[in-house]
Amino acid sequence: MTAAERTMRLLIIEDDRESADYLVKAFREVGHIADHAGDGEEGLAMAENGDYDVLVVDRMLPKRDGLSLIGALRDKGDTTPVLILSALGQVDDRIKGLRAGGDDYLPKPYSFAELLARVEVLSRRRGGPVEDTLYRVGDLELDRLSHRVARGKDELTLQPREFRLLEYLMKHAGQVVTRTMLLENVWDYHFDPQTNVIDVHISRLRSKIDKGFERPLLHTIRGAGYMIRDGIR
């Protein structure tokens, strides 16, 4: 895992000591600052006082459950992005979580790569630049208004879905985007396909934007997902 570009302050509210320790350690290893709260009340108090970039909240917590904690924060006008972790992975639970004020929802068991990618996207969203109309990575340009895509001097023709896929990747340029995130945000499906269906779409997109160019922009991040960025770090 590469070191984070920007250090994030995270609060992990999780009652299972072992998972919490694992998360704190894993986030610290990639260069973020992570605090831990063991129950809902403590978590709420810490979230109100500390200035966190993202809260990672377990849904089922002692003293105050995750959804009520988020509700209490939102009632006080706190807009810190929240990612809900839950053993209840079903679609309706996800919708419940998002309705309660959560910004993203990840069912357990999850991979750390997936969690990290989502948390980074959430933190970037906070106070990030207002939706640009023009995305640029290296010499690749995407105009969201005219739906024009060009690499260098070459105009590229993309299918509508390929355009949305590239748009999402470029919006999060420099960040890892997982397959599930793509399926959720580009296709709006929340199920788990048994096949590598996303990879095929990516490889089609890649053949359009990278083929014949010296410097590839769309990278596969092993064990995690994809990232669009200029140059190799």
Taking the complex as a whole, how short is the minimal distance between the CB of residue 219 and other proteins, in angstroms? 19
Name the residues that contact other proteins, by CB under 8 A: 89-92, 95, 107, 109, 111, 161, 187, 189-197, 200-201, 204, 223
Using the minimum distance from each CB to other proteins, give the nearer residue, 146 or 195.
195
Q: What stretches of the chain show up as alpha helix (H) in DSSP?
A: 17-29, 40-49, 66-75, 91-99, 112-125, 160-171, 179-185, 197-209
Taking the complex as a whole, how short is the minimal distance between the CB of residue 200 and other proteins, in angstroms? 4
Instruction: Tell me how far apart the alpha carbons of residues 66 and 58 are, in angstroms, rounded to a whole number.
Output: 6
Give the H/E segment covering residue 106: strand 104-107
Using the minimum distance from each CB to other proteins, give the nearer residue, 3 or 91.
91
215: Cα within 13 Å, side-chain hemisphere = 13
Instruction: Tell me how far apart the alpha carbons of residues 89 and 51 are, in angstroms, rounded to a whole number.
Output: 29
Instruction: Tell me how far apart the alpha carbons of residues 173 and 209 are, in angstroms, rounded to a whole number.
Output: 15
Using the minimum distance from each CB to other proteins, give the nearer residue, 7 or 207.
207
Chain CA centroid to CA 25, Å: 19
Using the minimum distance from each CB to other proteins, give the nearer residue, 92 or 131.
92
Using the minimum distance from each CB to other proteins, give the nearer residue, 63 or 112.
112
